Chains A and B, each alone.
Chain A
Amino acid sequence: MTAVAEQRPSAGFSTAARLRGWLRNPWGKPRFLVVVTWAYIVWSIVPVLIAVQFSFNATRSRTVWDSFSTRWYWGDPVDSVWHDPTLRHALVQSFKLAGADVLIAVPLGVLLALGLARWRGRGSGVSNFIMLFPLVTPEIVMGVSLLLVFSELFTFIHTGTLAQILGHVTFSISFVVVIVRGRLFSIGRQYEEAAADLGASPFVALTRVLLPLLTPAIVASAAVVFAISADDFVISQWLSKGGETDTVPIRIYSATRAAPLPSVNAIATIMMVSTLIIVTLGFLTWRFFTRGERRAGKAAEDIGGAFNLT
């Protein structure tokens, strides 16, 4: 029978050989990679899910599950995120820093990227390289040096919210520059030239042509900046003056060193969910603004990659 003759040769082999064939079949899906990927996803997400789960625990235990409750969010009159002033302040402080960081670092970063990308000649290469420094400098080094700057050089800036914002802007601006500059390179000069050709002054070319084209990158970098700022521990810690200027990560850190309650899990969950929402919003906005480009099957991936940074 032809049906038998055409059967896959692996049918008769041992289980081990068949498994190997299943993993290595060059015409099939890259199954080995799929397995590795899923293993990684499970490995990285299970601890997070467990932490989230215990934020809803009804008892004071962070390890023994009792029953579902929102006690640690607002139910508990003393220790819930809502009622514990230190936790509440930490949450407010984290959002304050992340929001201020986005509002300052993104516009500045866009201008820097424009300047660096359009700057020809001597010094441009060096400054392009220096822009990457904050990305490779260990954060602790950055935190210590910023503290030194504020305690020795610019003594009118005291540790606290202002110093924290300046610190966050200093290191997050590089992300904006890198993302926006990538987009600028893929856009090229042609649209600016076309705008100038049609009578647009450089300023009009910037606002009417370049900025709309940069929107996806700007949104992406805003989401990235929010995420890394909300995430930040080291710089926030070095530049904090304690009390109300402690952020969520600092609060979580100190709480876990004392007697941790599930309220710590609750506040961490709130941070995670809000960051996720911001990044998702950013991603959807990016999708919206680049829908035409993707239909044309063009670039755009380079910006999509920006979201992997989060």
Chain B
Amino acid sequence: MARGEIELSKLTKQFADVTAVDAIDLHVPAGEFFSLLGPSGCGKTTTLRMIAGFEQPTSGEILLDGADVAYTPPHHRSVNTVFQNYALFPHLNVYDNIAFGLRRAKRPKNEIKERVGQALELVQLSGYERRKSSQLSGGQQQRVALARALVLNPAVLLLDEPLGALDAKLRKALQIELKSLQQEVGITFLYVTHDQEEALTMSDRLAVMNGGHIEQVGAPQDVYEDPETLFVADFLGVSNLMEARVVSTGTDACRVAVDGYELETRGTDRDVIGAAKIVIRPERIELEEHGAPSGPNRVPGMVERLVYVGSAVQVIVRAATGETLQALVQNKGGGGPGFEQGTPVQLHLPADALRVLPSGIGDEPSIKGKESDEDEAEEAEEETAAAT
């Protein structure tokens, strides 16, 4: 597939005095499942809307297969969108909804019929042609929206949190379905979401956005395992952060001092010396019994709290360095992790799971954005939407 390559260059969007998207550069090769991940108001939806053509960029370029479409109106772009709330036309039935785009393209009648049939088959909704969208469940509406967009053979399919309105179980099922659908049709999917798990599950690559900037681009594994900024480390799952002082750096390994304990961490090619932060994922912390043979990268601690979450048990440990760390122990049955509140333990922080991040870069991750839906930029978006 040669179609569907997206290149954004210095793309910027300002709403009144809010810069929703701040000079981002991004390259998405054809046929990739690419996600824009970030909290509300990070600019991901605005970016998508600029690619779709609903917003005009303040400056910058949007190259679609090499041609700048930044000033092409939406109805002349070979991209189609699956909207967050589907936006199925309520006055039309399923068939007419899906045929809408083909009719605008003035396709012959029998071709429309055939292609709508195929699209319905693709989303497993054959036989629903005469239903109105109000007679469909959320998941079915979502599939119709998908069929309506895919039937036009777009170069790029834009998806704006398409699973956001569905319940957790259906969402999981549709994640897998969407991914295999994308592999089947082979076109570029640009997927906007604030759900890190969704992005990690489905994407070939993803970009983590924050405050109108792209923090990191990479494969899910790289971004999760190798966060480059504190924001990324924090936004993609729970991270344990510790203040540290870098003793020596190297591309193979670094040595840091955390409150008297010297730890070895993964190497970095960054020039970090002095004050820094180290991060480790909860599932990488190994808990050992107190008194187990000591070794490198081991810190004593005390179990503060146990939280049962079903498939695992979160163990909150107060380390001797003063930090409170969260460890995740898989639930294998047999009466829990074997630790109780108040028992002393030994934390093993494997060197390849520890990562040094320079203090200052991406500091103060705006965790509040993760919860609140009323971040400034998003508000600005909504305002303009409401004003229309």
Inter-chain CA distance A204–B385, complex, in Å, is 21
Give chain B residues whose Cβ lies under 8 Å from the Cβ of A212: 91
The answer on a CB contact under 8 Å between A190 and B388 is: no
What is the count of residue pairs linking A and B with beta-carbon distances less than 8 angstroms? 84
A220-238 interface code vs B (CB 8 A; 1 in, 0 out): 0000000000000000000
B100 touches A (CB below 8 Å): yes
* Stretch of A134-142, A146-154, A292-300 that contacts chain B: A292-300
The answer on a CB contact under 8 Å between B387 and A120 is: yes
B128 touches A (CB below 8 Å): no
The answer on a CB contact under 8 Å between A120 and B388 is: yes
B75, B85, B87, B388: the one within 8 Å of A199 (CB): B75
**With A292-B132, A296-B134 known to touch, is A194 a contact of B388 (CB < 8 Å)?**
no
A189, A196, A201: the one within 8 Å of B388 (CB): A189
A31 touches B (CB below 8 Å): no
Closest residue of chain B to A125, judged by CB?
B387
- The interface centre, meaning the residue of B80, B88, B89, B148 with most chain A CB atoms within 10 A of its CB, is B89
Inter-chain CA distance A120–B152, complex, in Å, is 32
**With A209-B89, A292-B132 known to touch, is A197 a contact of B388 (CB < 8 Å)?**
no
A118, A193, A200, A292: the one within 8 Å of B83 (CB): A193
Give chain A residues whose Cβ lies under 8 Å from the Cβ of B88: 194
The answer on a CB contact under 8 Å between B89 and A194 is: yes
Give chain B residues whose Cβ lies under 8 Å from the Cβ of A205: 75
The answer on a CB contact under 8 Å between A196 and B75 is: yes
Output the least CB separation between A215 and chain B (Å). Answer: 8
Give chain B residues whose Cβ lies under 8 Å from the Cβ of A188: 385
Output the least CB separation between B115 and chain A (Å). Answer: 13
Give chain A residues whose Cβ lies under 8 Å from the Cβ of B135: 292, 295
A185, A193, A204, A289: the one within 8 Å of B74 (CB): A193
Number of B residues whose C-beta is below 8 Å from A?
Answer: 33
- The interface centre, meaning the residue of B76, B88, B90 with most chain A CB atoms within 10 A of its CB, is B90
* A68-120 contacts to B (CB < 8 Å): 117-118, 120
The answer on a CB contact under 8 Å between A190 and B87 is: yes
A198 touches B (CB below 8 Å): yes
A191 touches B (CB below 8 Å): yes
B71 touches A (CB below 8 Å): no
Inter-chain CA distance A289–B105, complex, in Å, is 27
Inter-chain CA distance A292–B83, complex, in Å, is 20
A195 touches B (CB below 8 Å): yes
A162 touches B (CB below 8 Å): no
Inter-chain CA distance A299–B87, complex, in Å, is 15
- The interface centre, meaning the residue of A117, A198, A205 with most chain B CB atoms within 10 A of its CB, is A198
The answer on a CB contact under 8 Å between A198 and B53 is: no
B384 touches A (CB below 8 Å): yes
A250 touches B (CB below 8 Å): no
**With A193-B54, A198-B148, A292-B134 known to touch, is A213 a contact of B388 (CB < 8 Å)?**
no
**With A118-B388, A209-B89, A295-B134 known to touch, is A198 a contact of B80 (CB < 8 Å)?**
yes
B52 touches A (CB below 8 Å): yes
A265-282 interface code vs B (CB 8 A; 1 in, 0 out): 000000000000000000
Inter-chain CA distance A205–B180, complex, in Å, is 32
Give chain B residues whose Cβ lies under 8 Å from the Cβ of A196: 53-54, 73-75
The answer on a CB contact under 8 Å between B90 and A292 is: yes
The answer on a CB contact under 8 Å between A199 and B101 is: yes
Give chain B residues whose Cβ lies under 8 Å from the Cβ of A195: 89, 100
Inter-chain CA distance A194–B83, complex, in Å, is 8
Inter-chain CA distance A208–B54, complex, in Å, is 19
The answer on a CB contact under 8 Å between B81 and A197 is: yes
B109 touches A (CB below 8 Å): no
Give chain A residues whose Cβ lies under 8 Å from the Cβ of B87: 190-191, 193-194
The answer on a CB contact under 8 Å between B385 and A200 is: no
Give chain B residues whose Cβ lies under 8 Å from the Cβ of A296: 90, 134
Output the least CB separation between A189 and chain B (Å). Answer: 5
Give chain A residues whose Cβ lies under 8 Å from the Cβ of B91: 209, 212-213, 289, 292
Output the least CB separation between A149 and chain B (Å). Answer: 33
* B58-84 contacts to A (CB < 8 Å): 73-76, 79-81, 83
**With A197-B80, A198-B104, A199-B104 known to touch, is A191 a contact of B89 (CB < 8 Å)?**
yes
B132-149 interface code vs A (CB 8 A; 1 in, 0 out): 111100000000000011
Give chain B residues whose Cβ lies under 8 Å from the Cβ of A193: 52, 54, 74, 81, 83, 87
Closest residue of chain B to A185, judged by CB?
B386
The answer on a CB contact under 8 Å between A199 and B387 is: no
Give chain A residues whose Cβ lies under 8 Å from the Cβ of B74: 193, 196-197
Closest residue of chain B to A117, judged by CB?
B388
Output the least CB separation between B192 and chain A (Å). Answer: 15
A113-135 interface code vs B (CB 8 A; 1 in, 0 out): 00001101000100000000000
Chain B positions within 8 Å of A, measured between CB atoms, are 52-54, 73-76, 79-81, 83, 85, 87-91, 100-101, 104-105, 132-135, 148-149, 152, 384-388
- 23 sample A-B contacts, Cβ–Cβ < 8 Å, listed by A number: A118-B388, A120-B388, A185-B386, A190-B85, A193-B52, A193-B87, A194-B81, A196-B54, A196-B73, A197-B79, A198-B75, A198-B101, A198-B152, A199-B76, A199-B101, A199-B104, A205-B75, A212-B91, A289-B91, A293-B90, A295-B135, A296-B134, A298-B134
Give 10 nearest A-B pairs by CB, closest first: A198-B101, A296-B134, A194-B87, A199-B104, A196-B74, A190-B87, A292-B134, A212-B91, A197-B81, A292-B132
User: Given contacts A124-B387, A196-B73, A197-B53, could you give 10 more A-B pairs where the C-beta distance is less than 8 Å?
Assistant: A117-B388, A118-B388, A188-B385, A193-B81, A193-B87, A205-B75, A292-B90, A293-B90, A293-B134, A298-B134
